[in-house]
Amino acid sequence: TPSKIKTVDSVRREGPKWDPERLALDTLFVMGARANKALGLGNTRGRLYIKHPDVFKYSGDQDDKQWLYEHHLMPATGGKAYMLIVEDIKDLAETDEYRDGALLMHELNGFAVPEWMISKMKLQMQSLRTDKGRTSAPIVHSRSATPSETSVSSVKVSDQ
């Protein structure tokens, strides 16, 4: 008998939703578990990520988890620290797939993050893009997990 081969469609991570420049100090984020609940997907871990792999999710490192804990956004026991952009979840909620569902939009308590975390998010977003090379955003590489004083948002391009 022929073996079953599961084909995986290529996930497109491009366009305005994947432009690192959309991330700013006033961008609001939501923890993945809350986004899952808001869309009526219940407490099933990862359901949102499986259904919508094209939505940007930032996987926080240890420094990010510490900041989230200190700001009462994550328990000390930790686990994965996935953060999504509130605007992206609201956009999903307005699609036909969710419009008539059991949405719990009050779960979308957005929060802002510090500039050093935004810098790491921009780097991750840039590295995950499927249309690399089509953006004007500069790529800044860091050897450490915590960004240096020079962040992506502080790089200026001359108009000359």
- Each residue of 82-97: pLDDT tens digit? 999 999 999 998 888 8
Residue 62 counted as domain residue: yes
Domain count for the chain, please give it: 1
| Size of the chain, expressed as the number of residues it contains | 160
Residue 13 counted as domain residue: no
pLDDT average, residue stretch 114-134: 88
The mean pLDDT of the chain is 79
Residue 22 counted as domain residue: no
- Cα angle for residues 99, 104, 105 (degrees, 5° grid): 80
Query: Per the structure block, which two tokens stand in for 45?
Result: 């871990």
Residue 15 counted as domain residue: no
User: Residue 72: which domain range?
Assistant: 30-128+135-141
- Number of C-beta neighbours around residue 96 at 10 A: 6
Residue 155 counted as domain residue: no
Which band of pLDDT confidence, cut at 50, 70 and 90, is reported for residue 104?
A: confident
* Closest by CA position to 54, among listed 108, 146, 113, 131: 131
The pTM assigned to this predicted structure is 0.74
